[in-house]
Amino acid sequence: EDQVTQSPEALRLQEGESSSLNCSYTVSGLRGLFWYRQDPGKGPEFLFTLYSAGEEKEKERLKATLTKKESFLHITAPKPEDSATYLCAVESGGSYIPTFGRGTSLIVHP
Partner 1 sequence: GAVVSQHPSRVICKSGTSVKIECRSLDFQATTMFWYRQFPKQSLMLMATSNEGSKATYEQGVEKDKFLINHASLTLSTLTVTSAHPEDSSFYICSARPILGGGGYTFGSGTRLTVV
Residue 78 binds to partner 1 (criterion: CB under 8 A):
no
Interaction of residue 94 with partner 1, rule CB under 8 A: no
Q: How far apart are CA 43 and CA 70, in angstroms?
A: 24
Residue 36 interacts with partner 1 (CB under 8 A): yes or no: yes
Q: Choose, by CB under 8 A, the member of 82, 90, 98, 106 that binds partner 1.
A: 98
Residue 102's SS3 state is coil
CB 32 → partner 1: shortest distance, Å? 7
- Between vectors from CA 90 to CA 86 and to CA 91, what angle results, nearest 5°? 145
* Other beta carbons within 10 Å of 108: 21
24 forms part of the interface with partner 1 (CB under 8 A): no
C-alpha distance across the termini of the chain, in Å: 41
- Calpha distance 19→72 (Å, rounded): 10
Residue 58 engages partner 1 in binding (rule: CB under 8 A): no
Count the alpha carbons within 13 Å of 41 in the hemisphere toward its beta carbon.
0
23 binds partner 1 (CB under 8 A): no
Q: State which of residues 60, 68, 97, 110 lies at the interface with partner 1 (CB under 8 A).
A: 97
> CB of residue 78 vs partner 1: minimum separation in angstroms?
21
Q: Which residues bind partner 1 (CB under 8 A)?
A: 32, 34, 36, 41-49, 87, 89, 96-98, 100-103, 105
